[in-house]
Chains A and B, each alone.
Chain A
């Protein structure tokens, strides 16, 4: 585990419990997406690991170094891309990025800075003042700053919030390339498709608690579940005898039948079902299918948690 979080708690001065005992291990080289609504504790979690806030209790180690006791060694390994675009507006791009490298105690290395700026398509903007850049470019500068000191663990706090579709795709490519270079990436997001697109594992956080951490593939399997709803011309009181083998559900006061099936299975049984429904003398009005998405699982978890 390159990042090891044990029973991490954070209570702010006003008494607000932002983290209520989070335990999480992050494997070297993986991309972990932390999903959660606004105010779930995502940013507090990242801030506590990176040294921006002090933990109330619990511990975090990065590469085996405690982030409080051995902060120099721990923080040297971490790159942080904050959620807000926090940049010195009057400085040149290259100066802002070079400054970050110095701040992390790394010897000046113009070739490395050049490589990073080129990788992020910022090289031709290197002498531009930060305030002259577009929002998307500024976000790239934030990433360049975080990468300037060659971190082994990169935290991206909502990297694509308020970013247009094209830039979001670019951002995903950048993350994929960093993964190839062996960088461990933890990103927070409230876009579920983002987690689906790039993460190896997905964690769901809400109300300061980690509700679930699962391989994305396992989560996707749950996504294979679909529901077919058959709307009927005339309502029925009960599922007809001849259809009992289908495990149907009566819905909308008998105006509809619901059938659950698995798209990953060999056959879904839909053709046979529809044949049997008309054989049972029922008139079809409409058909609709519904796929449970990561979003449904997510919303379900968050609602369950609130209840």
Chain B
């Protein structure tokens, strides 16, 4: 294991993050505050409670998930796409490092950034509303696994993407709708019956439901299923990355 190389990749990725720390910090704070003004104060004041929780608090887990997923995706996909785009990928390929070490460096950094932003949002939210955390360890587990799995997914997108449009395509066209329709801002029991069935095909439902359970102890789907879903998704991404590594797909001709 070439730990020096993993550290070199990880720290240089983090340097980029810290260089723009103001943006990295301020934008989630502002967007979270905006969500609270709109959903919490304006709309939320007309909604009493959702499953025994005040609406303002109810949206916090979904809000965190929304940001963590999009941040993990965009950071990881950009992290590996950028060297491909500017050509510095030659150095990664000619260095005495394994593909696993490359993934560890990039995905580790992207997951760290996403985790940081998740924590920032949680702290910001707790300034507006009282957010109880019933199962703190489960909360951390769901948060970390979501950061890691979506960073792995982002890495795959970054390897696959041939241009900047493709880099944006999956996050915009697939992930954002799935997250919005995944119960970030509502409980699926609020949907018409037919949509309650359809929405179960949305994998993000399981992640948000499990994460919300760790806060309030109530869930749309059983927590076991949520855990299975997140482990399943993580494993799937790992298998795809292993395959990329085996075949050199879009990386090594």
Contact = CB atoms under 8 A, between A and B. Distances in A.
Question: Can you list the 3 inter-chain pairs with the closest CB atoms, starting with the nearest?
Answer: A102-B8, A86-B87, A75-B96
A27 interface: no
Contacts of A54: 248, 252-253
Interface centre among A78, A88, A89, A103 (most CB of B within 10 A): A103
A32 to B, nearest CB: 19
Given A95-B12, A103-B5, A51 B86 contact: no
Interface string A104-119: 1111000000000000
Contacts of A103: 5, 8-9, 91-92, 95, 97
13 contacts: A52-B93, A52-B252, A52-B253, A72-B96, A75-B94, A76-B96, A82-B90, A84-B87, A88-B86, A91-B15, A99-B8, A103-B9, A104-B96
A196 B93 CA distance: 32
A142 to B, nearest CB: 10
Contact of B95 (A13, A75, A82): A75
Contacts, number: 78
Interface string A42-77: 000000001111100000000000000001111110
B97 A105 contact: yes
Nearest to A53: B253
A12 B4 CA distance: 33
Interface string B3-39: 0110111001001100100000000000000000000
Contact of B91 (A73, A74, A100, A107): A100
A145 interface: yes
Contacts of B83: 88
Interface residues of A, number: 34
Contacts of A120: none
Given A89-B86, A99-B8, 16 more contacts: A50-B93, A52-B253, A73-B96, A75-B95, A78-B94, A88-B86, A95-B12, A99-B12, A100-B91, A102-B8, A103-B8, A103-B91, A105-B95, A105-B96, A107-B4, A145-B91
Contacts of A73: 96
B166 to A, nearest CB: 20
Nearest to B10: A102
B11 to A, nearest CB: 8
Given A73-B96, A86-B90, A89-B86, A105 B2 contact: yes
B94 A86 contact: no
A262 B9 CA distance: 59
A113 to B, nearest CB: 13
A51 B248 CA distance: 11
B116 to A, nearest CB: 21
B253 A13 contact: yes
A50 B91 CA distance: 10
Contacts of A80: 90-91, 94
Contacts of A78: 94
A106 B4 contact: yes
B90 A52 contact: yes
A87 interface: yes
Contacts of A87: 86, 88
Contacts of A12: 253
A20 to B, nearest CB: 17
Given A12-B253, A75-B95, A88 B9 contact: no
B15 A95 contact: yes
Contacts of A50: 93-94
A51 B93 contact: yes
A244 B91 CA distance: 64
A3 to B, nearest CB: 14
Contact of A105 (B5, B19, B88, B94): B5
A40 to B, nearest CB: 17
Interface string B185-198: 00000000000000
A256 to B, nearest CB: 52
Nearest to A71: B96
Contacts of B19: 90
Contacts of A52: 90, 93-94, 252-253
Interface centre among B93, B94, B252 (most CB of A within 10 A): B94
Interface in A1-47: 12-13
A145 B91 CA distance: 9
Contacts of A82: 87, 90
A43 to B, nearest CB: 11
Interface in B197-246: none
A87 B89 CA distance: 10
A86 B86 contact: yes
Nearest to A107: B4
A214 B97 CA distance: 35
Contacts of A104: 5, 95-96
A71 B101 CA distance: 14
Nearest to B9: A103
A50 B95 CA distance: 8
A30 B8 CA distance: 32
